[in-house]
Structure 1
Amino acid sequence: MGAERRHGRGRAARVAALLACGVLLAGCGSMPDSGDVSQVKASVPGDSQVRVYPVTPRENAEPDEVVNGFLEAMTGDDPGFATARTYLTRKAAREWKPEEGTTVLTAAPVSRPEPSGIRESQDRRVYSLHGSKVATVDGRHAYRPVRTTKYSGAIQLVQAPGPDGKGKEWRIDNLPSGLLLGESDFQRNYRAVNKYYFASGRHWVVADPVYIRQRQDPVTRMDPVAQTVKALLEGPTNWLEPAVDSSFPTGVALKDGVTSLTPDDQNKLKVPLNEKADNIGFGTCRRMAAQLLFTLGDLASTRVEQVELQREDGGTLCLMGESQKENYRPDPSGGLRAANSYFIDASGRLAKLEAGAENVGKPSTVPGPFGNGSVKASKVAVDRDERRAAVVSDDDQHLRVASVVSDGAGELPPPVVRSRGARPDDRLSAPSWDGRGGLWVADRDPADPRLLFLPDGSEEPVQVAAPWLAEGMRIEALRVSEDGVRMALLLKEGDRTTLHIGRVERRGTGAKQTVQVVDPQAIAPRMESVTSVSWAGQSRLVVLGKLAGGVQQVRYIQTDGSTSAAAIPGLNQVKVVAASNNERAPLVAASSDDGIVRLYAGANWQPMVEKGTFPVYPG
């Protein structure tokens, strides 16, 4: 019979239950003195306050106890994974490197002994490991989801000298690399943070999401703040690296021995660096400080209003306060600009809903040709300054750009892009503006699928290199990030439309500029179809789609593919969903049942306009 995580799971679970009640006092008023005893699993979904203190193997433990005890010990966070290493031979304990990466399964791995006579002998046992893999985390802390696949691995045990050097005990001498965790254990032990780097050649920052330990890192012994700073100094994740720059020179690191960083009572954080930082110039230091302030701002448990970078001898390199970092945002207003939303009314005119307006249901059409009925719009994008709009019209055949703040002559401008697709569904996608004033659109013509870029929204379109855009695949929709470095893509192949993030790389300037979108990463592989996507922050998207075998839903997804804990109430017959980079702004959606509706955090969907389509925020 297979030993499926029985003995080890129960022993460690009892320790977790005692700690959760007796030490953390998380909702436990008193210890009951009667009633039945029930087993508590160490993996408590969504409860990061539960800590698991695994136990060492008992004397003369059976092979299945050793395997299950080790798998359980990997879910703990004791220094150096010391308990987990007691299940290994001395050689395996030296060679095992849990920091190399993490494999995330839907649930804790199941272990089964290999059938007798195949891979078993008197002093050797082999156990197979099974599960469903959903993600990996690499050595640079980058999370990557995968379409759920079968996981298989193996653990080999041998008879090794006991702890006292006498007798023989079963110990593991061959095992998978890194950590192997179920999703609930991963969520309990890790937290998401954004590191920030500069868009290549630019002065504004780009978010780079990673995962760090919730508490002290077992390997480095660092607290969450020190872990985050260390991850920032080590450089961007492999995927983002070609499109961003770090102001931290090669070799700059935290001063030796620094494992804890805590702001003082003035919310100032002192960051001691090694000797490689001693001769850094003031300008470079300030950019380094800006990266730190943005990054530490994502640690909700720590409030940092000032950063002081220090030389190895403790002298000050530079100091930067919270208000000064606004100079390094793509949007200099810091995302505080009123987030107006727009939509296409029942007559095909572009209409505006003022942010915070109490006049629900009374939008105003915009000035100019897109609001006076000169053209019937089907899709729209408003630039981030809210001065121009790009409209797709004429059965999705033409893209036009015009002012939305001045009537001017009111004449309809000529198209800047034309599609030759035979049907509306084979013509232009909705356009999207980046934070640099550039306009993007996809031509879905099966005979000539193209990704096009207009550098200032009006110049001759440039065809963007997209080597992954293979025969049979097309871009159904796209949304460019405010920083202009990342692009959310809905890629259609056959009957399936999936969500990807592509990296935007630019070379040169002006007419000689070349642009390509490369290395698209699937970030919602468990969704069988996605129909709408919008940016909802620096590294978060709001997505409309279906999970495999499920119903349509609106949900948040991080740009690395991890899911957000924020819940969104259900809404029937949604067609399009839109969000703002200002996370305090409401979601807006178009529903065939309810028209244009909006959703504030903590509330329910609120009707705004009875008839309308294609709601958008600037971008």
Structure 2
Amino acid sequence: MRTARRRAARVGPLVAALALLTGCVQMPIEGPVVEPPVSATADDVPGISFDPRPPQAGDSAADIVAGFLEAMKATPVSPTVARQFLSEEAADSWVPEQQIITYAELGTAVGETTVRIPLSEVNRYDARGAWQRTEAEGVLGLGLALEDGEWRIEELPNALVVPESWFDDAYQRVSLYFFDPTAQVLVPEPVFVPSGDQFASSLVRGLAVQPDDTSPDVVQTYFPSGSAEGLAVPISSAGIATVALSGDPDAVDEETAQRMLAQLVWTLRQEPRIRAVELTIGGRALGGPGGSTQVNLDVGSAYDPNGARPSAELFALDRGLLVSGTIGAFEPTAGPLGTADLGVRSIGVDLTGTRVAGVTDDGADLLVAPVQAAAEEATRPVVGAVDLAAPSWDHRDRIWLLDRGAGRARVIVVVDGSAEEKDVPGITGRPARSLLVSRDGSRLVAVVRGPRADRVVSTRVRQDAAGTVLGTTPVHTLPRPTESSPRIRDVGWRSPTAVSVLSDITEDLSEVRTISVDGAPGEVASGGTTRLRGPTRQLVSSPVDGSEAFALAGRAVTSLTRLERPVPDLARGLTSLTYVG
């Protein structure tokens, strides 16, 4: 038996269970020191194509370890050569698609048949490419044995383990689109997938996996589980992407088919070569509106997370009265807040731009009124609060409020005119300063003040199929650069999955840094990092692609989207500048 021969050939004990270990790790004191000749510097990035060398006859244990680590950097991404460094049994059972582990640097490996390699700045990603967590240190354990006279790796984690520099070059930050529990809106989930010819296939395979860090009361997929395993998505010269899923076609009704198409179109339109899609399951074509099997990229617009008819207008208070328009060209509104000074200090406007919520000057009450209809009176769904921050709206016309409460915050949701307090662990009872809700209603972002530094925290909103808020997931803190001021001035949406954070660097220098709302490391293309001269105090931004973002320093306005564009100062008396949402 081959297995018995492999076991008899071992020359040392193997690790019982190999994994990436975190925190302080006690290193073994037995065995020689092995230094694999593997470079993991910032310059060690792959080119357009990298075909690694397979194992050679007579390779030492160190050669096999080094060759295996090098082979996992194959470009396009492929485990084929890396698998050749494994024993037959390990090659059959290794599933690198289960997770991705990246590292900044390799330490000195210790051991011969049981090899432990220290890693620094470790990031974990799940099977879809969604970031899970960052660890300052870790250890990669590999168990080796002689097989037919050659060293091979017999025990290893089910993961692709690669340098961070290689990962940044080979993978692209995108979103997979799932549905919220009400099936009324698409919710983007940020992930990293391989660039190039594997891009479209990786996107579709991710749709067939329920996100493992969220439950169906946060997001759900209508793709049958396992229907995209091993899927390849060819794209024709005309830009037609063909997606052939496996599974029982009779298990997919028309409503499910249309939601699958919406998920597919919104996800695949991130591939610029694609102009239309064709979707089949078990050989059955799933047609779009009108029965056409070629589905254009405008399908699913009714599920737009920015709202079916989002307003692009800016709104503000002009000496206490509501106005709308553009910077330098605001016009009065005809509703109750536009025709009488009701003592409002901050506002939030619904996604269609038709209703406004205003916090009174003392921070105690919330007024809600139409923007333009003069006949309707303002209502007060919240009274007697302590210190309300500016309100936010989601696509279900829910108004989200933070009552800062002298350092013990409360989260309040107004639905159909009725207010209800929601317990949000990590925000409720803390010294929170501001609260944002994503337009799809699935995410909350807050700024929480600490004794030495402020934090930006994020959580997911749990709701049932009727849209009733059930609670939230545990909050996590979003990473911020250490060189920034510990105090945060403002925070605002820059895309459905990214927020910009305004903080001071010096008394006369501010920084606006855009970060992913899931906490994943790296630059976010939708905003990047901008440094500004002057006492910048406020952000005005929107998650809608192509919308202009601004930074305010008193009346002075700077465009964060087009830094070279001159922007007129705000008129005197103009305050609470905001987009809808």
Equivalent residues of 1:453, 1:462 under 8 A apart:
yes
Quick check: 1:141 aligned with 2:103? Answer: no
Quick check: 1:435 aligned with 2:395? Answer: yes
Question: Match of 1:231?
Answer: 206
Deviation at 1:448?
A: 5.4
Quick check: 1:280 aligned with 2:252? Answer: yes
Q: Deviations over 1:377-399 (max 9, x none)?
A: 43221122222222223243332
- What is the aligned counterpart of 2:364 among 392, 397, 408? 397
- What is the aligned counterpart of 2:234 among 261, 273, 289? 261
Tell me which amino acid in the other structure corresponds to 1:212: V
Question: Match of 2:14?
Answer: none
Equivalent residues of 1:382, 1:433 under 8 A apart:
yes
Tell me which amino acid in the other structure corresponds to 1:588: F
Question: Following superposition of structure 1 onto structure 2, how do residues 443-592 of structure 1 map, counting pairs within 5 Å?
Answer: 443-446=403-406, 449-456=409-416, 459-469=417-427, 471=429, 473-507=430-464, 513-524=468-479, 526=481, 530-545=488-503, 552-562=510-520, 563-566=523-526, 567=528, 569-572=530-533, 573-592=535-554
- Measured in 2, the distance between the counterparts of 1:478 and 1:580 equals 15
Deviation at 1:446?
A: 4.7
- Measured in 2, the distance between the counterparts of 1:429 and 1:229 equals 40
- What is the aligned counterpart of 2:243 among 243, 262, 271? 271
Equivalent residues of 1:442, 1:452 under 8 A apart:
yes
Question: Following superposition of structure 1 onto structure 2, how do residues 102-117 of structure 1 map, counting pairs within 5 Å?
Answer: 102-105=100-103, 107=104, 109-114=105-110
- What is the aligned counterpart of 1:132 among 121, 125, 128? 121
- Measured in 1, the distance between the counterparts of 2:575 and 2:70 equals 52
Quick check: 1:341 aligned with 2:314? Answer: yes
Tell me which amino acid in the other structure corresponds to 1:606: V
Structure 1: state its 5+ residue gaps.
14-39, 115-119, 217-222, 355-359, 422-426
Give SS of 2:418's match: coil
Return closer, same or farther for 1:387/1:258 CA change in 2, 3 Å cut-off: closer
Deviation at 1:556?
A: 2.6
Quick check: 1:152 aligned with 2:138? Answer: yes
Q: Deviations over 1:108-164 (max 9, x none)?
A: x323144xxxxx5xx64644313123x320123221354xx4212044565625xxx
Question: Match of 1:243?
Answer: 218
- Measured in 1, the distance between the counterparts of 2:212 and 2:275 equals 24
Deviation at 1:436?
A: 1.4
Deviation at 1:557?
A: 2.5
Give SS of 2:259's match: helix
Structure 1, 188-197 or 532-541: larger mean CA deviation: 532-541
Return closer, same or farther for 1:608/1:600 CA change in 2, 3 Å cut-off: farther
Q: TM-score with structure 1 length normalisation?
A: 0.76
Structure 1, 272-281 or 199-208: larger mean CA deviation: 272-281
Equivalent residues of 1:140, 1:237 under 8 A apart:
no
Question: Match of 2:168?
Answer: 187
Question: Match of 2:24?
Answer: none
Deviation at 1:56?
A: 3.5
- Measured in 1, the distance between the counterparts of 2:182 and 2:144 equals 56
Equivalent residues of 1:432, 1:479 under 8 A apart:
yes
- Measured in 2, the distance between the counterparts of 1:600 and 1:328 equals 27
- What is the aligned counterpart of 1:304 among 252, 275, 288? 275
Paired residue total: 536
- Measured in 1, the distance between the counterparts of 2:196 and 2:565 equals 35
Deviation at 1:58?
A: 5.3
Return closer, same or farther for 1:466/1:386 CA change in 2, 3 Å cut-off: same
Quick check: 1:214 aligned with 2:195? Answer: yes
Deviation at 1:76?
A: 2.1
Question: Match of 1:596?
Answer: 557
Give SS of 2:473's match: strand
Return closer, same or farther for 1:396/1:597 CA change in 2, 3 Å cut-off: farther
Return closer, same or farther for 1:418/1:399 CA change in 2, 3 Å cut-off: same
Give SS of 2:204's match: helix
Poorly superposed stretches of 4+, deviation over 6 Å = 1-5
Equivalent residues of 2:181, 2:220 under 8 A apart:
yes
- Measured in 2, the distance between the counterparts of 1:390 and 1:82 equals 58
- Measured in 1, the distance between the counterparts of 2:275 and 2:510 equals 40
Tell me which amino acid in the other structure corresponds to 2:53: V
Tell me which amino acid in the other structure corresponds to 2:437: V
Q: Deviations over 1:421-448 (max 9, x none)?
A: 4xxxxx2121101111111101121575
- What is the aligned counterpart of 2:261 among 276, 289, 292? 289
Give SS of 2:346's match: strand
Question: Match of 2:38?
Answer: 8
Tell me which amino acid in the other structure corresponds to 2:204: V
Q: TM-score with structure 2 length normalisation?
A: 0.80
Question: Match of 1:100?
Answer: 98
Equivalent residues of 2:182, 2:466 under 8 A apart:
no
Give SS of 1:287's match: helix
Q: Deviations over 1:483-522 (max 9, x none)?
A: 2222222233444332233222234869xx5542333333
- Measured in 2, the distance between the counterparts of 1:583 and 1:141 equals 23
Q: Deviations over 1:543-601 (max 9, x none)?
A: 324799x9742233233333313445432332221222331121122223x52343445
Structure 1, 389-398 or 325-334: larger mean CA deviation: 325-334
- Measured in 2, the distance between the counterparts of 1:519 and 1:211 equals 23
Deviation at 1:101?
A: 1.1
- Measured in 2, the distance between the counterparts of 1:415 and 1:315 equals 52
Q: RMSD of the TM alignment (CA)?
A: 3.6
Structure 2: state its 5+ residue gaps.
1-31
